[in-house]
Amino acid sequence: MDTILELENISKVYGRGHTAVKAVDNVSLQVKPGEIVLIMGPSGSGKTTLLSMAGLLLRPTDGHLRINGQEVSRFSERQLPALRLHNVGFVFQAYNLLGALTAVENVEVVMNMADVKGKAARTRAVELLTRLGLEHRLNHLPADLSGGEKQRVALARALANNPPLILADEPTGNLDSKIGHEVMELLCCGLGRDQGRAIVIVTHDHRLRDIADRVLWLEDGKLSEKESNWNGDYAWHGVTNP
């Protein structure tokens, strides 16, 4: 497989007529197995919209989307959940854990949806959480976990069904610098690149640039390999906002 994720001339327009807003404008992108791509840009540039389309949460207005070689932009709404469940793992800034379930149950529930249940689901969940250093927190509820621990549970959940594609939306936004970098190192190096997964990270956090194979810039809905001159929510190359 040459590419895990392929976006071809993808656009997303909200609204109609004179009120229409093009959130993503004719974007093309290919991400190969084992590749880590960072997408950066100012707030409102279309990053989350782009990631939502790549993860089959949002349907593009125009263009083609392929995951693992499958053309999915024309799949029916009934077909998309199963496709998403087996092909895409999501990591969110807010963790999105189920508060009534323990750490291990939060991982198991995703596998249950894919018809992996009982001992098989428990064994895989424990294995993932142990690899992420949470063997002593398996039976704790999210309310009893630190931010870094919650994000590790979220990583285990994203990896539970062994998807070829991982999408992360501001995954370090609620973590301090040290913990955020540790969590991303685990995903990208220990559980991502080494296992041939394609990883796309949308972020404002320029500290993650050193773990990426490519850094792309999204501004006004357009994707570019040329670094933006924008100097907004954080420092670029050590230059702090005035």
Tens digits of residue pLDDT in 107-148? 999 999 999 999 999 999 999 999 888 999 999 999 999 998
Closest C-alpha among 178, 177, 132, 124 to residue 151: 132
* Pairing between β-strand 21-31 and β-strand 88-92 as defined by DSSP bridges: unpaired
Q: Report the pLDDT value the prediction gives residue 184, as an integer from 0 to 100.
A: 80
CA dihedral 54, 55, 57, 61 (to 10 degrees): 10
Intra-chain end-to-end CA distance of the chain, in Å:
46
Which overall architecture, per CATH, does domain 5-96+164-224 show? 3-Layer(aba) Sandwich (3.40)
Q: What is the pTM of this model?
A: 0.88
- 212 burial (CB, 10 Å; 0-12 / 13-18 / 19+) is buried
| Angle at alpha carbon of residue 86, lines to 81 and 89, rounded to 5° | 90
3-class SS of residue 130: helix
Strand partners, 24: 12
Q: Where are the domains of the chain?
A: 5-96+164-224
Q: How far is CA 225 from the centre of its chain?
A: 20
Q: For the chain, which ranges sit under pLDDT 70?
A: 1, 190, 226-242
